[in-house]
A = this chain, B = another copy of it.
Amino acid sequence: MLTLKHLRSIEAIHETGSITRAASRLYLTQSALSHQMVGLETYYNVMLYERTRPLRLTPAGERLLELAREVAPRMEACERDLQRMSERRQPGRLRIAVECHTCYDWLMPAMDAYRSHWPEVEMDLVGGFHADPVSLLADDRADLVIVSEPGRAREVSYEPLFRYEMLALMASSHPLAAKSRLEAQDFAQETLITYPAPDRLLDLVRRVLKPAGIHPERRQVELTIAIVQLVASRKGLAALPAWAVAPFLERGYVVARPVTAHGLWSDLFAAVRSEDATRGYVRDFVTTLREQAFMSLPGIESVPESS
């Protein structure tokens, strides 16, 4: 029988163009999703997608996608209403702390989307720099913190959001632009342009350069646009999320290259107090973060289980 689960699957397959990627986004194995689709196809005796790469929906698949788009939001709205009815306490509050500079790019639209679903939830951003932002949860100064690594404290629950690739950025006239990927040694003689943040938060430094014993000259700038401008002016290299550099590549002054053989991928998690993790408005905020990110950020993936 047709379920919401099937509709979500069709949407994910359509959006990712692949059973494997869709499965990962749905937190399923590739096999489970394949079985699920074969089951649907057998039940209705139709093909739902062409077995080509990239995979495309057939007319029958498109029809299901259409259903998903008209039906899924209504079911979700109903679920939110039920959650509201069950939590007869005060409407919730979400004070959000963010560790990474670029996070604001996707956090703001996500908060907007969330506000329309949960108008009664009061949202706030916790400003300032904090050595250990997760401790803001226990101190009751924040209710949700965006971090790049899950901790292991039992009082805090870490919800995976997504992962993105960090790309090395250089002027298109830079000699290193000739290489298809950069390694740690390539940075040795360069200036590294970063946000003003401790090394712990700079994935390139912490996970690539420091382990290789390489400590390039450094320069710190606040704004992404300023970093790109300095790179274009051949003042040094930078490492930024793939989705953040995409708009600048079109103009051709800078180029982006992966770092190390498999690329430098960073994960993001939402940390919440474990007692809050099951609340409807909190879970829905996390879900909204994921949805909005996958909708607007090109090239991101879901966090693999092992992380």
User: How distant is the Cα of A72 from the Cα of B63 in the complex, in angstroms?
Assistant: 16
Residues of B within 8 A of A75 (CB): 2, 67, 71
Which residues of chain A (33-56) have a CB below 8 Å from chain B?
44-46
User: How distant is the Cα of A5 from the Cα of B75 in the complex, in angstroms?
Assistant: 13
Instruction: Please give the count of copies of this chain that the complex contains.
Output: 2
Residues of B within 8 A of A78 (CB): 2, 63-64, 66-67
A305 within 8 Å of B by Cβ? no
The stretch that binds B, out of A80-88, A201-209, A222-230, A248-256, is A80-88
Q: How large is the interface on A (under 10, 10 to 19, 20 to 34, 35 or more residues)?
A: 20 to 34
B45 touches A86 (CB 8 A): yes
Since A1-B3, A59-B85, A63-B85 are in contact, a sample of 10 more A-B pairs with Cβ atoms closer than 8 Å, ordered by chain A residue number, is A2-B4, A2-B79, A3-B4, A44-B79, A44-B85, A46-B86, A63-B81, A64-B78, A67-B78, A71-B71
Spell out A's residues near B (CB within 8 Å): 1-5, 44-46, 59-60, 63-64, 66-67, 70-71, 74-75, 78-79, 81-83, 85-86
